[in-house]
């Protein structure tokens, strides 16, 4: 029976993997303490699985139910069961009409954050202008394949830059651990389904889309923004800000300057750059926008046969259609004080070339919706913090005076852009070790653990394109990271059988795990010292992944609406 006119949600109902629909209904009826004829409807709100017991994977459900009589929860045999109201997840707009006289807001970047900021602004009647330095997603895909197939890099349009952002060439994961009490994540998923994503992303516990589906979805969302009055400009880079000095010492955004010298006047700018817009970060710093160095992680991509991971995680149930390709999440706290963890795990995927700058090598992982490629891959990365960046920055920027090291970490003064210098140093070294032709340096796990170069592959064939150069990875990361990763792999092998197999492949380097800086903002989502400037998403240090970036874009769009409407 509905409580106050709303359906009830039964949470944490556990059933065997191979249950039937009839068994699901019977278990629901039993849990509710009612007869079968008293259950009006049953709808799956969430379905996940528990694979902790090897070979005995269980499905875990959240079910929205309607009954003819008040249910009485029966927890015998299932003590975790809960019953409550179905939450109202319908998105609530701040407004549906922008105030008269409002300048059109500008959104810089069309990754997941900029895409959703632009979409929600358009839905609220603000007619945003989205500026994207890269190409539209179809043309961008061709440019990206140019590096993978022909070793030709397009610096302005690649895995990092272009419509859809870096998430377009990824596994397309759509889950996050961010707090989301206003159900912004549901808004993201609902818009994705409307744009062509499968309905299952609304209820499976770890939804994903895959690259090919993301391409058409991004195109559909762009068309929706334009139909609502928005504008999208591709192959257009923002090279400067128009700022007005205020009496209180702060600055007010008044517009942006494009690379051709033209200007767009506005009082609201969303900075949704992604984590690789290094030249734009430099421009923002030179214009006085407050930012600070933040931690990130560096490491390698690791590849194993996907069948090995499936067997290790699911046992005899490996290959079940409801389970799909198995994933994993690992962490190890090394004896040198560093933490090593798996990052952006891509079941049944490939390792891809992800540089955005010439003569550098960067790796990332990508999967299609089917996740049916031969290998599993993940980043195995070591956490680093701003104190680690100083030496690389001094070598990279010797022309700068010492006073620019203005973010204090312990007794060190760390420039906000210092993490970029470290990234560049590692990526340049990987390019050199790989042979100077965009091949990535690679090493077999067994050889890496023994500290000897690799010369011959085993059973595991690396998927990185345009290719790999076997050798030693020791020179491609700082020694503390090599030491920590070398210690972590046997520890991971004790958690997942075969993880440290001798012929598994490590490919370097993974440096773009997150932004190396944060463009700090206040509770109103605006820059601490530039009013009307709204740092957002992964590049600004406020998201990590497609879903959290989309959520942050929605929040920033709402903040702009509140600012325009003068709502506190």
The pLDDT tens digits of the residues spanning 69-98 come to 999 999 998 999 999 999 999 999 999 999
Q: How crowded is residue 189: how many other Cβ atoms within 10 Å of its Cβ?
A: 22
- What's residue 568's pLDDT? 73
Q: Contact, 159 vs 352, CB < 8 A?
A: yes
For helices 418-433 and 278-286, angle between their N-to-C axes, nearest 10 degrees: 150
Q: How far is residue 546's CA from residue 544's CA, in Å, rounded to a whole number? A: 7
Strands 269-271 and 106-108 turn out to be parallel
pLDDT tens track for 214-234: 889 999 999 999 999 999 999
Indicate the pTM of the whole model.
0.95
Q: What percent of the chain has pLDDT over 90?
A: 87
Residues 339-368, mean pLDDT to the nearest whole number: 96
- The DSSP output letter for 417 is T
* Mean pLDDT for the stretch of residues 298-315: 97
The percent of residues in the chain predicted with pLDDT above 70, rounded, is 95
CA dist 393 and 64 (Å) reads: 55
Write the pLDDT tens digit of every residue in 240-257: 999 999 988 889 999 999
Nearest CA to 329 among 316, 318, 340? 340
What was the pLDDT predicted at 411?
45
Mean pLDDT rounded to a whole number for the chain: 94
Question: Band of the pLDDT at 409, cuts 50, 70, 90?
Answer: very low
DSSP secondary structure, 484-513, as one string? HHHHHHHHHHHHSTTTT-TT-EEEEEE--S
């Amino acid at each position: 029976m509905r409580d106050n006119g709303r359906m009830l949600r039964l949470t944490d109902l556990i059933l065997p993997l191979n249950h039937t629909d009839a068994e699901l209904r019977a278990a629901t009826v039993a849990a509710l303490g009612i007869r079968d004829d008293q259950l009006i409807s049953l709808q799956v709100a969430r379905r996940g699985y528990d694979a902790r017991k090897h070979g005995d994977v269980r499905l875990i459900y959240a079910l929205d139910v309607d009954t003819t009589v008040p249910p009485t929860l029966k927890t015998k045999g299932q003590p975790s069961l809960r019953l409550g109201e179905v939450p109202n997840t319908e998105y609530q707009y701040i407004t549906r009409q922008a105030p008269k006289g409002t300048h059109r807001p500008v959104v810089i970047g069309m990754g997941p954050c900029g895409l959703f900021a632009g979409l929600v602004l358009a839905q609220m009647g603000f007619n945003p202008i989205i500026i994207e330095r890269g190409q539209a997603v179809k043309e961008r895909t061709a440019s990206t394949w140019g590096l993978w197939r022909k070793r030709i890099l397009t610096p302005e349009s690649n895995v990092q830059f272009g419509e859809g952002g870096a998430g377009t060439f990824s596994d397309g994961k759509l889950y996050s651990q961010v707090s989301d009490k206003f159900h912004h994540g549901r808004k993201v998923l609902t818009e994705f389904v409307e744009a062509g994503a499968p309905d299952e992303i609304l209820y499976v516990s770890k939804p994903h889309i895959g690259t090919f589906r993301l391409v058409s979805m991004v195109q559909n969302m762009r068309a929706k923004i334009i139909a609502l009055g928005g504008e999208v400009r591709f192959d257009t880079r923002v090279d400067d800000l128009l700022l007005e000095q205020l009496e209180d010492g702060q600055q007010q955004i008044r517009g942006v300057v494009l690379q051709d010298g033209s200007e767009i006047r506005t009082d609201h700018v969303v900075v949704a750059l992604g984590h690789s817009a290094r030249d734009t970060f430099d421009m923002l710093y030179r214009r006085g926008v407050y930012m600070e160095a933040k931690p990130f992680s560096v490491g390698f991509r690791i590849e194993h046969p996907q069948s090995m991971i499936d067997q290790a995680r699911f046992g005899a149930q490996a290959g079940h259609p409801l389970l799909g390709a198995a994933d994993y999440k690992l962490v190890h706290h090394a004896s040198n004080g560093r933490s090593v963890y798996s990052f952006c795990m891509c079941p049944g995927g490939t390792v891809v070339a992800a540089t955005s700058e010439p003569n550098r090598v960067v790796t990332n992982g990508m999967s299609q919706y089917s996740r049916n490629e031969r290998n599993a891959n993940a980043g195995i990365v070591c956490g680093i913090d701003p104190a680690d960046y100083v030496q690389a920055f001094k070598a990279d920027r010797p022309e700068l005076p010492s006073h620019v090291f203005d973010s204090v970490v312990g007794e060190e003064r760390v420039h906000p852009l210092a993490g970029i210098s470290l990234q560049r140093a590692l990526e340049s070294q990987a390019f050199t070790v790989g042979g100077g032709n965009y091949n990535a340096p690679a090493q077999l796990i067994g050889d890496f653990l023994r500290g000897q170069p690799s010369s011959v592959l085993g059973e595991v064939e690396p998927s990185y394109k345009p290719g790999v150069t076997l050798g030693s990875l020791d020179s491609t990361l700082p020694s503390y990271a090599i030491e920590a990763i070398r210690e972590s792999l046997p520890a991971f092998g004790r958690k997942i059988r075969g993880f440290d197999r001798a012929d598994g492949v490590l490919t370097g380097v993974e440096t773009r795990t997150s932004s190396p800086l944060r463009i700090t903002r206040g509770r109103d989502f605006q820059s601490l010292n530039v009013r009307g400037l709204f740092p957002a998403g992964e590049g600004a240090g406020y998201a990590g992944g497609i879903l959290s970036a989309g959520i942050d874009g929605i929040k920033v769009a709402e903040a702009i609406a509140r600012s325009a409407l003068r709502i506190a």
